[in-house]
Every structure is written in C-alpha cells, then in structure tokens.
Structure 1
Amino acid sequence: MGAAGGLLSIWNSAVFKCNGSYIHKNFIASSGYLVGVDQCVGFINIYGPSVDADKQCFFGELLEFLSNKPLPWCLVGDFNAIVSREEKIGMNFNCHLAEIFRSFIQDANLMDLPLHGGAFTWSNRRDPPTFVRLDRVLVHHSFIILFNDLRQLLLPSSVSDHNAICLEDSKIDWGPRPFKLFNYMLEEEKFQEMVVGEIDVALRHNPNLDLFSMLKRSKRVIKDWSHTISIPSASSVKEVEGKITRIEQELQGGLVSSNMVAELASLKKHIWDLLRTEERIWAQKSRSRWLVEGDRNSKYFHSVASNKRRINSINTLDYKGSVITNPMEIRNCVFEFFSEAYNTCTTLEVESLDLEFRKLPQSYREGLEKEFTMEEV
C-alpha cells in the first residue's frame, strides 16, 4: 500500500512444517510443527499501523486472534509502538499509546525478552537523529517452556534504517572455517605481484622447492593478506556494520556532530559496494557459471548454493554403532576418528594398501644380493 511493500513470511520446509495460516492486513500468522517438537507452535509476522488512531483497534484484533487460537505463539516484527519512555530518544512520547501496548502484552500473557546488542531498532538518520525500539520479539509463556534458552539478539542495521532481530535457542560452535580463495581476490590490486614475490623468495632459499610447498606458502601469504588489508569480503561487511552500529550508539548517547552523520552516510554507501562483492561470492559458492554474462541472478545462485550446502551437511552420524544427531557430539566424533587414523602409524605401510606391485625375478634379486655383499666386503 503506497510505499509499503507488504509482509513476507518464509521458512525452511525441512525445519518447519506449516499446517495453517491466517492473513490480516497488519500481520501473518503461521502454525505448524518444528523438527524435534511434538507440540504445534505458531509464529506471527507483524507490521503495526503507523497511524496512532488505528493502534488501539489493531491490538484489540490481535488479542482476539490469540485468544481464539491457544498455541505457543511467537510474535515478531515492527509493532510501531513502545512500552516505556526509555525506548525512545528524540521527538515526543505518547503515554496513552504506551499504556495500550503494555496492556496488550499483559492480557495476552506474552513476555518481552531482553534485547542483546543494543537498545534501539530504528533511526530516522537525521541531524539530530531519533532512535526508537519499534521492532521486538514477544513470546507466549508456553513457548518459553518449549525453548528454555531463548535469546533476542540485535543484528547490525546494514543498509536498512531498521536493525534485524535474531531469536536463537542456542549457539553451536563448529570450530574455525577452512580458508577459501575467491575469484574476486585475483582482481585486487597487487595480488599477483604479492604471490609471485612470495614464490621468488621461496625459490631463492630452496631452488628445488616442490609444487606442494609453493602452494602452501602462497596459501599462507594470501590468508594473512586477506586479514590485514581492506578488501571486499564477508569480514569486511561485518567490520563496516560494526562501525555503523558504533556510530549509531554514540548518536543515541547524545554525541551528535555533523562529521559523525557524514561518516555514517559514507559507511552506508561503502556497504553497498561490499554487498555487491558478496553477491559474486555467492555465485562462486554455487559452483555454476553465470547464465548470461553480467546477469546478477541472485535467486538462482542462492538456490544452487543452499541446495549444495544441504546435500553436504552432516546432520546424522553412525559412529561405532551409535547414531549421533547432536552437532557437538558429531564434531567430537569426527575429531576422534581422524586423530586415531593419523596417529596409528608414523609411516605409510605399503602392505596395508593391498596393491599389486611388479616384482623383480628371482635371478635379478640374487644378483643384487651378491653385489651388495661384495660392496660390504
């Protein structure tokens, strides 16, 4: 409607099986079953009305819907409402509307989880700026029983004037990721000179250096180079997003200056360039050539890369007769398996390969034995 593009609710069909939905002009409700959870749960994607006169009617309709559908509900989105004066910096504070929102949360038996990573989710980006917590996650008390370790995390705002919110149940540590060489690095300034220079230094120290050693040295110098210089990468995006978040927090604290506002605008422009490079990375991850040279085709490459990741993922492991599904246990079993495999013997035992090798005839062997015997004498 007008400048608003509407609401979109998406989910991974391998994780959530939707069995029903309801569409309202201000929210989308979806119910179904999560993998590993026997009870039906519901998620509501919300965009509250921006007109103050419509807010009381909206919360009344939403409360009526929740009362008629007794499920463990999780409500998430832009409510366009706040519960206290502390959730807003700048402009006026409407006590009446805040009371309406607080009453709705209480009457619906919802819990407003603590927000980690910041205090506000939206800014008008003006000078001086206004900061408001418009976005949040509200969960029913029965939803908390199913998921005990819920945490509401504020993500960097990136190119949007809103901060995304992540609701996570637990954080799994799979360990450090392996280094990958992306094609865009080859086009960076002085990349080729750096690699050639490293190989020349290695060959001066050891002219008989083998190919594997040269590749190993090149990998090390490229890896160090990617962390020390400013190049478009996933880490660069996070770094710029961190700078944006830090400046916004300073502005929220009252440290407003024209230089900070200008720097914030410059960082927003820079992050667009980084995201375009990230799109090229997705194209390479998909391991598929561009259908048309220059065609962005983001949806295609994301689909191919995501499908490949699903195929290669290890969700279940049969180890020593036991079926393991916990990611941390899978990680430990893989580490234990390869630790035993690489430490069983110190040298390569040819006999264990069970290969057919050509052997010298008996007469040749006897001749060699005599020759070695004479040399020893």
Structure 2
Amino acid sequence: MEAVDSVGLSGGLICMWDEDFFQMEESNKNRNFLHIKGRMVGCNEYVNFLNIYMPQGITAKKDLWDALSVIVNSLDGLWIIGGDFNSVRFREERRNCSFKSSCANNFNSFIYDAGLFEYDLRGARFTWRSENGKKLSKPDRFLVNSEFFNNWPEARVQALPRLWSDHCPIILISKSVNFGARPFRVFNSWLGKEGFSEVVEEACSNFSCPGYPPDVFLVRKLGYIRCKLREWRDKMIRKDCEVCSRAMEEIAAIESILDSRELSEEEEWILAENKNIVAEIEYAKVMDLKQRSRVKWAKEGDENSKFFHSLINCRKLAIRSMA
C-alpha cells in the first residue's frame, strides 16, 4: 500500500493492491494525488493508477490539471484515474448546487488533452449528497486512456450503496457480465388463469419495432411479451393473496358459528365455496412447486451431486436376510 496523509478533516489518499496480481515499481506522491506505476500479472504493459483528491479553488484545480496532463502524456501504458475531482463536467451532474462553467470547461479540456475516456455510471446518477438530501452532485468518477478502453470496452463503473459517508463508493469493473437475455419462467398454472391468453395476444399484436433485423426483432418482441406478462403476474399474485385472505377469514368466521349452532343452507354453501377457493389457490402453488422441482432435477439430478445423493438416500430400502 501507499498513502498520502490527510490535512485536518479533508484529503487523504490510499492505494492498496494484492502483490500476487500487481507489482509496484514506482510511486509519485502529492498533496492532491497519488500515482502508482507497476505491472499486472498477465499484462505486458505498464499500468498506472492515479488516485485524485482535487482542491476546491478553480485556479488550484486548473494548475493541478495542467500538471497531471503532463504526467499522463509523458508515461506509456494503461492509465486509470479515479477519485474525488470536486468538479462536474455538465450542468446535469448537479442538482440544487451552483454550476461553474469555467471549472467544467477546464475539467473537460484536461480530459480531452490527456486523451481520456469515461464509462457510464450505473446504479446511481449522483455520487454525493448533502446531509438533508437536497443537494446532489457527481464529483466522483473513473477516467481511462484509449489503451485501457480498447482492451476493456465493456467495462463499467458501478455505484455502491452509501452507508456512513456523504459520498457513495464507486468501483470500476472490467469483467464482462453480459449473459444475454434474462430468462423468464412461465408456469403451467398460469395457463388456466384469467387474462393470461389475452395479455399474450395483446402484447403480440401491439408490438412494433420496424427497421431491425429478424433476430433482433424476435428478441425485442419476446422481451416486450415478458414485460407484459410480469405486470400481469404481479397483479395476479396480489389478487390471489387478497382472495385467499378473504376466504380464510370467512371460513374462520363460519366455523366459529359451529360452536353455538348449526349452519344454515346458505352458510354451508359459503363455507364450501371458500374452501374450494383456497384449495384452487393451493393447488396452483403445488403445481408451481412441482414444476420447479422438475427443473431442478433436470439441472442437477443426473449429476453426482449432494442433491442427487440426498434423493437416493431417501429412497433406500432396508432388506434383511432371514437366517
């Protein structure tokens, strides 16, 4: 690790790494930045990490950006620059905060002169907020050079949950996690539910996506149908829960009458109808569980796994020989 001590309650920088993956060769420390240069395992090029905490003044920021631009342009290899820049690039990156166009122009000029790129931030729009939550800003970000961007074009910057700080942590992830379209399971019990067929037919007829090739058109159409089915499913589940709750309440109320008197013909009919409603809902849940178990068996049942042996052990027969 390498660190730059804080001054009072502000500043302070630290870089930590695993020596099994990164070997530092030199470092450069300053009041407002910490530069680490070394090599990563499996990478033939030098990797430069620049940890930044920008000062508040516009002039001080401009001077530091000019100095950093010289450093970045003078050293070869991959560059990763991250930290608290105390600046934003565009007006939309602030809310209820003063926007200084001169500071933003200087910041964008530094990015352009150093040949840097920025990945889109995911998980949040702003990385800093005031204590009362009224002021929001995006001073934290990652910048990379073209060599890094060309090697990892699908990298992303993810904002993590904000806990104890007024800044939310951000992480640069170079590993691609795009596994294609997200799977969506349709249960057999849905086929007999009210509105299922209508939702599918309406989604198929209303979908429109002109100008795309057939494979992309099919993927988008299936995604649209999935979205509509998800909305229908959520409403159906809420409705079934409400119906089941009312039926259970009526069953409990009618059964309490049996302690004092016999039921009338109408009360017997209400009791039977409510029991049928609860039984139908429970049967649909059992069908779903059965379908889930078959999917799990198809996935794991034929493997020499803990799941397989647990099922086999449950079916063992004890055969005793008679002397």
Partner-residue secondary structure (3-state), 1:8: strand
Answering whether residue 69 of structure 2 is matched by residue 63 of structure 1, we say yes
What is the aligned partner in structure 2 of residue 156 from structure 1? Answer: 161
Partner-residue secondary structure (3-state), 1:19: strand
Map Cα deviations across residues 302-360 of structure 1 (whole Å, 9 max, x no partner): xxxxxxxxxxxxxxxxxxxxxxxxxxxxxxxx9997449957x967xxxxxxxxxxxxx
What is the aligned partner in structure 2 of residue 327 from structure 1? Answer: none
What is the aligned partner in structure 1 of residue 49 from structure 2? Answer: 43
Map Cα deviations across residues 269-322 of structure 1 (whole Å, 9 max, x no partner): xxxxxxxxxxxxxxxxxxxxxxxxxxxxxxxxxxxxxxxxxxxxxxxxxxxxxx
Paired AA for residue 127 in structure 2: T
Paired AA for residue 64 in structure 1: V
What is the aligned partner in structure 1 of residue 268 from structure 2? Answer: none
Answering whether residue 113 of structure 2 is matched by residue 104 of structure 1, we say no
Map Cα deviations across residues 56-82 of structure 1 (whole Å, 9 max, x no partner): 101001101111112210001001111
Partner-residue secondary structure (3-state), 1:105: helix
**Pair 1:97–1:339, CA change in 2 (3 A):** same
Structure 2: gaps of 5 or more residues: 1-6, 179-299, 314-320
What is the aligned partner in structure 2 of residue 94 from structure 1? Answer: 100
Map Cα deviations across residues 233-288 of structure 1 (whole Å, 9 max, x no partner): xxxxxxxxxxxxxxxxxxxxxxxxxxxxxxxxxxxxxxxxxxxxxxxxxxxxxxxx
Distance 2:149 2:301 in 1: 34
Aligned residues: 189
Distance 2:69 2:302 in 1: 53
What is the aligned partner in structure 2 of residue 11 from structure 1? Answer: 17
What is the aligned partner in structure 1 of residue 171 from structure 2? Answer: 166
Structure 1: gaps of 5 or more residues: 174-333, 348-368, 373-377
Bigger shift: residues 45-54 or 103-112: 45-54
| RMSD of aligned alpha carbons | 2.9
Distance 2:301 2:59 in 1: 60
What is the aligned partner in structure 1 of residue 149 from structure 2? Answer: 144
Distance 2:167 2:45 in 1: 33
Distance 1:335 1:27 in 2: 55
Paired AA for residue 17 in structure 1: Q
**TM-score between both structures, scaled by the size of structure 2:** 0.53
Distance 2:301 2:152 in 1: 29
Paired AA for residue 114 in structure 2: A
**Pair 1:171–1:143, CA change in 2 (3 A):** closer
What is the aligned partner in structure 1 of residue 137 from structure 2? Answer: 132
Paired AA for residue 50 in structure 1: Q
8 Å CA contact 2:85, 2:140 repeated in 1: yes
Q: Which has the higher strand share?
A: 2
For residue 75 of structure 1, the aligned residue among 69, 81, 86 is 81
Return the offset for 1:50.
Answer: 1.4
Distance 1:170 1:335 in 2: 31
Return the offset for 1:124.
Answer: 1.8
Partner-residue secondary structure (3-state), 2:109: helix
Return the offset for 1:52.
Answer: 2.2
**TM-score between both structures, scaled by the size of structure 1:** 0.46
Return the offset for 1:146.
Answer: 2.4
